[in-house]
Structure formats: structure tokens, C-alpha cells
Structure 1
Amino acid sequence: MRMEDTPIRRLPEDTIADILLRLPAKSILRSGATCKAWRRITTAQHFLVARARRRQPASILAHTYLDAAPWACSSDLLAGFSSEDVALDALPVSSPEDDRQRLLRYPATRLTVPAHCGRLLASSDGVLLFKKDMGFYLLCNPITRQWAELPRLPNEYCKGKFYINSDPEYGFYFHQPSGEFRLLCCSLTRGFWYIVSTGAGEPRHLKLKQEPDLITRFIRPLLTTATMPVALDGKLHWPPIWRCATGKTRITAFDTVSEMFCQMPGPTSRTPKMMKLFEMEGMLAAADFGEEKHVDLWFLEDYSSQRWVHRQRVASPWKYGSGGRPRNDWGMQSVAVAGDDEGNIILGNNDGLVVYDVRKGEMVRTVNSVMQRKNRVFVSKHVFKGSTVQHTCFFTPSSADSPLIHSWS
């Protein structure tokens, strides 16, 4: 039977568009190849605007190690180093683990492992930020299969104290007014903050009153932070590091419009370094892993008055006394936390990964696949929300010219 003869083909286009809007981003792209009518619907401006307004389902990212596939790229830098591949998978918060989506696959070269699992630095608005080399960054939208490069940094911008190579990257975000993806960086030796963006040819210095040394006491670089900065209400938010004697904590935020840093109250905690921030139902939220048997969930229910509410205490994803529970902020780097708009939260690591329904106050399921060592799946701290938006400054390379990867699935 041809597509034109099926009952769904006789539905009004508005109804078809409404159905397609509910699909995951990758399924929308595939549906556009079904027939000309669906391609017209899924590429129409009003459809893309409606899709962008819908809150995309959240996933956590995991790295799976596989036997190496034949490497087709001619890059002298990458060829010949790999005996295995790294696959980047998206584990959805709400859906069963069978719905895990493979985003891309690339060689596990000496540049990518074992240090930081592919040098994946961050994710924002459906775009992944990779660090290919010192001062060399690649942006990738695995849904549209497009790439972009940020302006390469001069060597002196990447030097830390005593002129040793450092990690200058502190935040990655989509700047709505300009339509640019931006990387917030700091040069401690030169004493300034700067921004690298897709729409510029060179780094742009920020004029801040605070000294860089003062700000970096309260935030960590992307590679070493326990929680990726959470973008909400036009600001990036870093988790608290220190606490006052009263138990109160402070969250550092960066306004992406005014380009100024500020501090705001955080949840009460005895162990702020064991806390992870995430976004859920349009609110800033925090999961405190400081206790052995439970995890405290806090929500910033009123952003304007900066009022935090302790909403729930859920059982720890790890068995009591097990070695899986992180003991310090370094161990928190391998802990994942993400929420969706249906009241579900996924949290844990490779020794225990569970999904809780906060509204019902119960555990929904365990994600068993990542807890089996033979599968060689490693949970990351990154949260991903797919996007079909095609941004300017991005390009679609041929398979032979694709940077870094050699497979999309």
C-alpha cells in the first residue's frame, strides 16, 4: 500500500502536525523522509517554532565502549590510535531503558580516553560541545547531524598558573538574543573572563568588577565540576561549594544578557559539595547526596523571592554500606541527575541508577543495563535535550569529512 492510500494520509495537516510534534526529535527527522507532505509539514516555519516552544524530554548521557569499527576518516591526528570506540547514548528519564538512543560513535583515541570520556565538555539546547584539543572546540547537533567550530583560542588563553595548561571553560549556553552558542572562559594568568561564540572570529573580553580569582573560588571548570551549570531564566547556575555556619549555602549565577556574576541563596545542606543542580518543570532543583540512606530533593519554587522548599526525601539508589555511593565531590562527577515534566527524576551512577516519581513518592524502575559491568556503559553528568533546530554557522559535512566521529548510530 502506498503512503497516499493510507487512512492517516487523509487526516488534516494540522492533525498530522500535532501528532508529529509529540515525537522525539530524531523520529521527526525520519518522518520527514516518509513522503513529501510530511517533509513539508516538518520543515515549515510554524512547525519548527511550535517544536522549539515545546519542552523537550530530558535524557542523561552515557558512554558505551565497543570494539573498534573501521576508521574511514583520513585525519592523521586520529587515525591508527584506536582499538575501541566510544558510543554516546541518551538514556531518557521517562521512557524505558529500551528506548535508549545512540547519538554518535567515535574512536577512543589517546585524545579521548581515559581522561574525560571523549572530552565531552557540555550540552546545551540539543548541541554537544567537544574539546578536541587545547583551545579547539567542536559543536555537534546529533539530531540534525550538523557541526560547527568555535574560534580557536590562542595558546596564552589556555595557560593557568605557572603557565601550565589549564581548563579555562566554565559555562556553555545558547544566547537567545543573538542566536549564538557561547562558551564562557577564564584566563587566570591574564586576569580576565572572555566569551567564545559561533558568531565571532575571536574571543571577546568581559568587563567585570570582580577579580577572576574571587569568582573561581565558588565555581569549577566544566571538566571538574560535579554538576554542569544549569541554564534557567537567562542565567547559568553553578552548585554551591561552601556553606555558612548556619548551614545556608550560596549558588553562583551568571546573567547571560548583562554578562555579570551574582550570588543567590541555595538549599540548606551540611555537605554542599555533595549536591547537584538540575532543572525540572521549569524550576531550579537540587539533589543532596550527603546522607548515606537517602537523597534530599529541594526546589526553588519562587525564583523572584529565591525561596527554596524541601519537597521530598527519597531512598538512596545505593544499598546501605555499598561502595557505589560517592564519598566526595570528585566522586560526584560520575553521578547523574535529571528531571522531566511528568514528575520523574533519574539519579545515580553505574552502581545504582533509579527513576523516582516525585508526585507519587515512589520508585518507578531501576536502569539495570548500566549496572552490568560486561556492558561497559558509563553514566556521565551530562543532560541532553534533542533539538531539530538548524542554526546558522553549522554545516552538514560529508561522511568522509565528519570531524571526530565515524558513525551516527
Structure 2
Amino acid sequence: MEYRVLIVIYKARRFKFYILGLLSERVRWITNLTHSPNNVRSPVYLNGILHWMVNDKSYKHANGDNPGCSSSIMLFNTTSEEFSTIPHPGDECGLRKKHDMMELMDMEGNLSLCDSRSFRYLDIWMLEDYENWFWGKRHSIEIEPLLEFCGIQYRYGSHVNLGGFYMYNKELLLKVCDNDLILYNQQTGSIRRVGKQMRKDMRVVAVPHINTLFIDIF
């Protein structure tokens, strides 16, 4: 019956992980790692495990190079308090890593990954075999209609910021250029806006309502 906080501290080119018990006020060291979770989004919590994308920038700052694609997803078992890593689905990134263009989400109670590295398609993968880490591609959504709906001229080869992916009533909720939230129906291909499009100097954020609390503090 203890509330626990996972803490990461960067020191001496290592990321030191601790557990803080809020009731006991005790701090326990867990492990040191060469990498840390991406702190832009909260983790996906499934099957007693927290899932994050690896933080490319902090890894490069600590190690001088980019993390490999084979260890691009971090896992933390909340029972055993052990970390592990798995590779992301799809093609490897090459020399220039693009893990910041991938986001994890919960889709139908399964770990899923949205990959926006392509200039033409948004690929959605689902982890179909948790034991053997087998991913299956579920959707490949053309990006051009999404941008045109938001009033953005599509240019092949130019990256437009897509992110903030969630499943909402079987529709994909995503953020375009930080100031527009849209819902995409993967069955019909229809697109509709959530609220109204903000000015370019404003940002919108979608926050899912869940019954478990995780807090990111920076």
C-alpha cells in the first residue's frame, strides 16, 4: 500500500534511477543506465509495465552518439522494479536516429507505436506477441489529406510535426503543428477537428482521462 515515485538523476554521464516511497519517505537506488526515458509524453502502462521511447537527446549528451534502434523502447516492470529495452518496429533509422518521431500509445489494450518518419504515411504498429516482441502493422495513413484538412500545403520531403497520438472512441486523435487537434476515422477515412484551430503561436495538448495516476516532473 505504498505510493512510489520513479526518479531519474543525470550524474557522471549516467542516469541514476531511484524509488521514493511517499508514505515511508524512503529513497532506494535501483540501477544506473546509459539512457533515460523520453520525458515529452507520459509512459504507456500495460501489464504492470511502463513503456517509453528512449530519449535520443539525453543519450547523445551522455554517450556522444545516438542510441541504437534495438534498444529504442524502454520498459520498467513495476513489480520487479527492473528495466529492459526492446527494438521499435519497422525499418531501422540509419545513422540519423528518428526515435523522437515515434510515439507509443494504448490501442485496444495493446502496446502500439505511431511512426511518422515517412514523408508520405503515418504507420501504426501493434505489439501482437508480447513474449517474442512481434509487431504487426495495423494501419498506414496517408499524411497529405491530414495536412490539407489543417490548411497546410503538402510538400514531399518536408517534415510536419505530427504527434500526441491517442485512441478516442476508435478514432485516432493526433496533433498537427502543435496548434490543431484532429480525429481520424481509420475505417471511413473521415477527418474532423476537435475544438478550433489555434493561432500558430499557441499550443494545444490533449490529456486522456484515466483512473491511474502517473506524474512527470521536470
Equivalent residue, structure 1, for 2:5: 182
Cα distance, 1:290–1:249 mapped onto 2, change above 3 Å = farther
Match of 2:87 among 258, 265, 289: 265
Match of 1:276 among 103, 109, 127: 103
1:78-227 pair list within 5 angstroms: 178=1, 180-189=3-12, 192-206=16-30, 208=31, 211-212=32-33, 214-216=34-36, 219-220=37-38, 222=39, 225=40, 227=41
What are the superposed Cα offsets for residues 81-135 of structure 1, whole Å, 9 maximum, x if unpaired? xxxxxxxxxxxxxxxxxxxxxxxxxxxxxxxxxxxxxxxxxxxxxxxxxxxxxxx
Cα distance, 1:264–1:249 mapped onto 2, change above 3 Å = closer
Cα distance, 1:324–1:291 mapped onto 2, change above 3 Å = closer
Higher relative CO (Cα under 8 Å, sequence separation at least 6) belongs to 1
Separation in 2, partners of 1:185, 1:191: 6
Cα distance, 1:243–1:185 mapped onto 2, change above 3 Å = closer
Maintained 8 Å contact 2:179/2:204: no
Equivalent residue, structure 2, for 1:378: 203
Identity of aligned residues (%): 25
Structure 2 unpaired stretches of 5+ = 57-66, 214-218
Maintained 8 Å contact 2:15/2:35: no
Aligned to 1:378, what secondary structure does the other structure show?
coil
Normalising by structure 2, report the TM-score.
0.70
Higher Cα Rg: structure 1 or 2? 1
Equivalent residue, structure 2, for 1:321: 155
Equivalent residue, structure 2, for 1:47: none
Equivalent residue, structure 2, for 1:104: none
Aligned to 2:87, what secondary structure does the other structure show?
strand
* 1:289 equivalenced with 2:116 (yes/no): yes
Maintained 8 Å contact 1:336/1:379: no
Cα distance, 1:249–1:309 mapped onto 2, change above 3 Å = farther
Equivalent residue, structure 2, for 1:299: 126
Cα distance, 1:385–1:274 mapped onto 2, change above 3 Å = same
Aligned to 1:273, what secondary structure does the other structure show?
helix
* 1:229 equivalenced with 2:64 (yes/no): no
Separation in 1, partners of 2:180, 2:113: 19
The structural deviation recorded for 1:385 is 1.8
| Pairwise CA RMSD | 3.1
Separation in 2, partners of 1:193, 1:243: 21
Maintained 8 Å contact 1:338/1:383: no
Maintained 8 Å contact 1:285/1:299: yes
What are the superposed Cα offsets for residues 362-385 of structure 1, whole Å, 9 maximum, x if unpaired? 23412351x2319x75223x6432
Separation in 2, partners of 1:283, 1:344: 15
Maintained 8 Å contact 1:252/1:264: yes
The structural deviation recorded for 1:194 is 0.8
Structure number having the greater strand percentage: 2
What are the superposed Cα offsets for residues 164-216 of structure 1, whole Å, 9 maximum, x if unpaired? xxxxxxxxxxxxxx35252332352597321224323242222x3xx33x233
Aligned residues between the structures:
187
Cα distance, 1:179–1:383 mapped onto 2, change above 3 Å = farther
Structure number having the greater helix percentage: 1
Separation in 2, partners of 1:276, 1:215: 17
Maintained 8 Å contact 1:230/1:236: yes
Normalising by structure 1, report the TM-score.
0.40
Q: Which amino acid aligns with 1:281?
A: E
